Structure 1
């Protein structure tokens, strides 16, 4: 089992959720709807100076679904090149 965390601009949230639900039956997840901070290329602070914000999606998947999550995130990264879509994966115990 793996813990997968996706951090991305809010503009990709709906598409990410749709793809996860389409490709992983019964996919369970938690969304932290507003995350602010500094990434590699920009700030996303939800302020008048840096108005954009990110979201964080956390899901736990069985080993066989990890490649599916990676492929979904890779497709989002290629479609939304400037949105800073990131995936972090950690081995988890049930």
Structure 2
């Protein structure tokens, strides 16, 4: 099992979720809809100086779906260049 964490601009949230639901059967996820912070290239603080915000999507999935998720994120990054979309993957273990 893998924990996938996507941090991205809110402008790409619908695209990512739609593609995940279309290509990963039974995908489950949690979205934290408004997050602020500093990335490598910019600030996303939701303020008048730095008005944009990000979202975080967390999903635990079977390892066999990770390559599909990587392809989805790569496609979104290609289509929406400069939005700072990041994918982080960590091996996870479910406690019985």
- Please indicate the TM-score interval, normalised by the length of the shorter structure: over 0.9
Inter-partner Cα distance in structure 2 for 1:59 and 1:20: 10
| CA apart distance, 1:60 | 0.7
| CA apart distance, 1:25 | 1.2
| CA apart distance, 1:10 | 0.1
Q: How many residues are paired up?
A: 94
Q: TM-score, normalised by structure 1?
A: 0.98
Q: 1:43-67 CA distances to partner (integer Å, 9 max, x unpaired)?
A: 0000000000000000011010000
Alignment of 1:45-84 (within 5 A): 45-84=45-84
Match of 1:89?
A: 89
Question: Which aligned runs of 4 or more in structure 1 are off by greater than 3 angstroms?
Answer: none
Q: TM-score, normalised by structure 2?
A: 0.96
- Unaligned 5+ segments in structure 2 are none
Is 1:4 matched with 2:4?
Answer: yes
- The alignment partner of 1:50 has SS state of coil
Match of 2:28?
A: 28
| CA apart distance, 1:32 | 0.2
